[in-house]
Structure 1
Amino acid sequence: MAGMSIGGIASGLDTETIINQLISVERNSQTLLKQKLTQQNEVVSALQGLNARAASLLTGAAALADPQAWTKVGATSSSSSVAVSTSNATGSGSLTFTVVQTASKASYTTAPVLAADAPQGEQRFTITSAKPGATPVDVVATSGAPADLAKAINAAGAGVVATTIQDASGAQRLLVTSATSGEQGDFSFGGAQPPALAAQLTPPRDAALDLGAGTFVRSATNTFPDLMAGVSVTISKVEDAPVTVTAAPDTAAVAKRVGGMVASLGVVLSEIADQTRSSVDDPGLLAGNSLLRGLQQQLVSAVSTAVPGATLKDVGIELTRQGTVTFDEAAFSAYAAKEPDRAKALTTAFSSALAGVARRASDSTTGTISLAVTSGQSTARDLTTRIEAWDTRLELRRASLERTYAALEVALQKNQSQSSWLAGALAGLPTYSS
């Protein structure tokens, strides 16, 4: 019966050890397959990592190959009190102005009142915004005490914020401030029992810039959205001295992106060199891989021949004798400021060449590395199937050997029994003397 072994009862042999040794010999073929699978998985993993790096290179290069990469505009301000920001700005130019005034919120206070002197009973009044067409908001306070008035005003949602302030005598004032700045942020009290406002602490005021020649720009807040196309300006204080805001192509941002692309290229080249090294003592996992060697040559060629008759050194990109690529951001920025069109042409051509090489390598459907990964995964699946088949084969072989040795023991035991009977029979025969 399968899985059962008679341990050399008749033969005196250690049949279990013999079977294990025979199976171990036959398992060598499976062991070799497992070693091949391990190596294959390592190769696939290495190719996947390189493919991911090539895809990253493609993303950066394709973005810079797009002429629109050079249309991004950055903005600067000549004053630290004037901040600038851009959003989809495309035009260049400058604007000079003085900051006439900053925006403020309307703020009013009532006369001080002691708790004992505050009007008693329910107080009804309205708050009306200065915005055109605003509807009065009804407010009902439980009493005329500043704290009760503040609570009712804040609950009314009238676009104002109320609080109380207390002086040394213990008397309280109601302080009411608009929630928004600008002239239209002003408000007024009305109705039957409005709080008596005693003083205006700050007026409602728009921020204003003087562009010269009697031209003013106003904003309800200290931010002027799209003061120039795609350029917003935020002021923090009055500036009598002229302030200049300049919008120009953001070559610094382009330089950072070029640097990132060259860094990605360096990672790919370094990875290929490491994986394909032909050292006798420590060869790379993909040593001798012609696909990667070809990719390496194509990438290097993109640096040296991307622009016929020109050198990328002008824009800070240089191929070293060691086969690496370096980028000088300062050189790029200087050349881009001096020759913007030429810098754009060189960078775009180089990026386009790199993108083409990276796409042919990493495209998920047709990329050479992607296809190598797919092929390697198929090989790994085939090896796994063959290893699993060996498990079944070895189980069957063990069962066969156990049956064979069990049958051998039974036969030997039977033979021994017959020999014992024959010996006994012969011993019982009469003996005759001559």
Structure 2
Amino acid sequence: MAISLDGLSSGLDTTALITTLMQAEAQPQTLLKAQVTSTTAEIAALQGLNTKLASLADLATSTAKKGALDLYAATSSSTALTATAAAGASAGELQVVVSALAQRQVGVSAAMATWPSPSTLTIVGHDGTPVEISPASSSLDDVVSAINAAGAGVTATKVASGTDASGTKLYRLQLSSTTTGAASSFTVYQGSAADVAAGTAVDVLAAPGSAIIKTAQDAKLTLWAGSSAEQEITSSSNTFTDLLPGVSVSVTATSTDPITVAVGRDVQQVSAVASKLVDALNQVFSTITSQSAVATTTAADGTTSVTAGVFSGDTTVRDINDKVINAASAPIDGHSPSEYGISITSSGTLTFDADKFAAALAADPATVNAALQTIASRVADVATTASDKYVGTLTGKITGDQSQVTRLNQQVADWDIRLASRKATLEKTYSSMEVTLSNLKAQQANLTSQLAALTTSTESS
């Protein structure tokens, strides 16, 4: 380690001198650091663009798939029935009458203070399978808990039912099936499963004072009512799945007059797909434009400086931008996308006219769907070629820039070692100079003293 003798003999500010010299020596490293900063900023911008291109590729690919635009909506002529169209639906119409709604079985027991002996009870489902339940006691609370924990497809609730002649509180058990439909019916017996099999168990809901409040039943639809083809279909719930291909209906009330279920092409859904594709395209264009913009700033002293965006002059990005624009705006079978409401502006972005698109779709759905899928297919090809995580052109550029930053950082680190060595050399050199000058000054003082002594001696003689 060099010892600092800053200006000891020379009077020079050697520390400042060395600092100035080192700044000059470090210019190549400073340029390298600036290049690291600019390349890192470019990588971040490229990654942002790549993400948007990858999203665009996914959206365009899904839009271009066969059947992706076969979107239909179902309507009902009555609030008693709601129709929903899903994948696989097609245009059509059907008239139905809601003959019955699905419901669960609900029954109440006779009024009681405690469960009668024996406390064991058995629930027999629609399929005849018995579930034997043994409550902890004859307490109605224990009976309710045991039924609810048994998994027999039945729930129990204790309901207050006044008092008897002696003032004892009475309760009824309300027993309900957990599901709807005819198959949710059940019978509750007082007694074991063996008693049920032997015919000696008591039917709780058939005993005096008890009642079936609701019977378990399926929902029923009558198709082509009044015709020779009249047919009834049932469902354990109030929903009929695939009544028509891809169309399900849910009923909330019975009807006497036929209800029309109609299925037609959903213009709004198809328009939404087209609008979403245009939005995704504009996000790509907007990113490129903002990162290519030139910024002008004015300093306090009035001088101005111009800074180019990270994409300015980037031929790879410009080529991608041109290809995406061409894919989105080029004619389809001699027809411009603007005929379908997708137009390119003077600024290089797209606009979507929903009304124009809807009108074109209503007039010729096959042609408009085919045109939209052609645009989507072309865009998907371009966006995928650019953003593919293995062989994408933009991906390759990002990888190349990342490798360059790694090399530049290594060069910066090498310069740290080189500059540290150079600074040590300068400090040693200037320290040696100060020591040499100090020694020379000491010799000069000594010689001056000796000469003065000789002169005095000569004069005395």
Q: Structure 2 regions of 5+ residues with no counterpart?
A: 164-168, 196-200, 297-305
Paired residue for 2:299? none
**What TM-score results when the alignment is normalised by the length of structure 2?**
0.85
Contact 1:69 1:254 in 2 (8 A): no
Contact 1:121 1:142 in 2 (8 A): no
Structure 1 residue identity aligned to 2:330 = T
Residues 214-233 of structure 1 mapped to structure 2, 5 A cutoff:
214-233=230-249
Per-residue displacement from partner, 1:178-200 (whole Å, max 9, x unpaired)? 11211121111333554632211
Structure 2 residue identity aligned to 1:203 = T
Do residues 27 (structure 1) and 37 (structure 2) align?
Answer: no
**Which deviates further from its counterpart, 275-284 or 97-106?**
275-284
Structure 1 residue identity aligned to 2:133 = V
Q: 1:239 aligns with which of 246, 255, 260?
A: 255
Change in CA separation of 1:174 and 1:304 when aligned onto 2, cut-off 3 Å: closer
Taking the aligned partners of 2:450 and 2:67, their CA distance within structure 1 comes to: 111
| SS of the residue 1:375 aligns to | helix
Taking the aligned partners of 2:393 and 2:274, their CA distance within structure 1 comes to: 25
Residues 351-390 of structure 1 mapped to structure 2, 5 A cutoff:
351-390=376-415
Residues 188-337 of structure 1 mapped to structure 2, 5 A cutoff:
188-190=187-189, 191=191, 192=195, 194=202, 196-197=204-205, 198-212=210-224, 213-277=229-293, 281=306, 283-337=308-362
Contact 1:103 1:206 in 2 (8 A): yes
Change in CA separation of 1:314 and 1:173 when aligned onto 2, cut-off 3 Å: same
Contact 1:44 1:373 in 2 (8 A): yes
Contact 1:70 1:251 in 2 (8 A): no
Contact 1:185 1:204 in 2 (8 A): yes
Change in CA separation of 1:269 and 1:148 when aligned onto 2, cut-off 3 Å: closer
Taking the aligned partners of 2:129 and 2:283, their CA distance within structure 1 comes to: 65
Q: Structure 1 regions of 5+ residues with no counterpart?
A: none
Paired residue for 2:156? 162
Contact 1:55 1:359 in 2 (8 A): yes
Paired residue for 2:55? 56
Taking the aligned partners of 2:90 and 2:422, their CA distance within structure 1 comes to: 81
Taking the aligned partners of 1:160 and 1:103, their CA distance within structure 2 comes to: 17
Taking the aligned partners of 1:205 and 1:59, their CA distance within structure 2 comes to: 47
Do residues 401 (structure 1) and 426 (structure 2) align?
Answer: yes
| SS of the residue 2:281 aligns to | helix
Taking the aligned partners of 1:45 and 1:119, their CA distance within structure 2 comes to: 75
| SS of the residue 2:398 aligns to | helix
Taking the aligned partners of 1:308 and 1:51, their CA distance within structure 2 comes to: 30
Q: 2:438 aligns with which of 404, 413, 419?
A: 413
How many residues matched? 428
Per-residue displacement from partner, 1:320-355 (whole Å, max 9, x unpaired)? 233321112232233223212111221122112222
Structure 2 residue identity aligned to 1:164 = K
Contact 2:89 2:247 in 1 (8 A): no
Structure 2 residue identity aligned to 1:265 = L
Change in CA separation of 1:158 and 1:361 when aligned onto 2, cut-off 3 Å: closer
Taking the aligned partners of 1:156 and 1:303, their CA distance within structure 2 comes to: 63
Change in CA separation of 1:34 and 1:230 when aligned onto 2, cut-off 3 Å: same
Taking the aligned partners of 1:349 and 1:392, their CA distance within structure 2 comes to: 59
| SS of the residue 1:108 aligns to | strand
Taking the aligned partners of 1:50 and 1:184, their CA distance within structure 2 comes to: 58
Taking the aligned partners of 2:117 and 2:162, their CA distance within structure 1 comes to: 26
Structure 2 residue identity aligned to 1:264 = A
| SS of the residue 1:16 aligns to | helix
**What TM-score results when the alignment is normalised by the length of structure 1?**
0.90
Taking the aligned partners of 1:77 and 1:10, their CA distance within structure 2 comes to: 104
Taking the aligned partners of 1:185 and 1:287, their CA distance within structure 2 comes to: 71
Paired residue for 2:300? none
Structure 2 residue identity aligned to 1:234 = S
Change in CA separation of 1:383 and 1:200 when aligned onto 2, cut-off 3 Å: same
Q: Please provide the CA RMSD for this pair.
A: 2.5
Taking the aligned partners of 1:356 and 1:106, their CA distance within structure 2 comes to: 58
Taking the aligned partners of 1:310 and 1:103, their CA distance within structure 2 comes to: 54
Q: How far off is 1:96 after superposition?
A: 1.5
Per-residue displacement from partner, 1:139-163 (whole Å, max 9, x unpaired)? 2245555444323322332211111
Contact 1:99 1:240 in 2 (8 A): yes
Contact 1:109 1:199 in 2 (8 A): yes
| SS of the residue 1:227 aligns to | strand
Taking the aligned partners of 1:101 and 1:423, their CA distance within structure 2 comes to: 131
Per-residue displacement from partner, 1:363-391 (whole Å, max 9, x unpaired)? 23333322222222233222222222221
Paired residue for 2:38? 39
Do residues 110 (structure 1) and 119 (structure 2) align?
Answer: no
Change in CA separation of 1:61 and 1:196 when aligned onto 2, cut-off 3 Å: closer
Taking the aligned partners of 2:149 and 2:333, their CA distance within structure 1 comes to: 73
Paired residue for 1:126? 122
Q: 2:130 aligns with which of 133, 136, 139?
A: 136
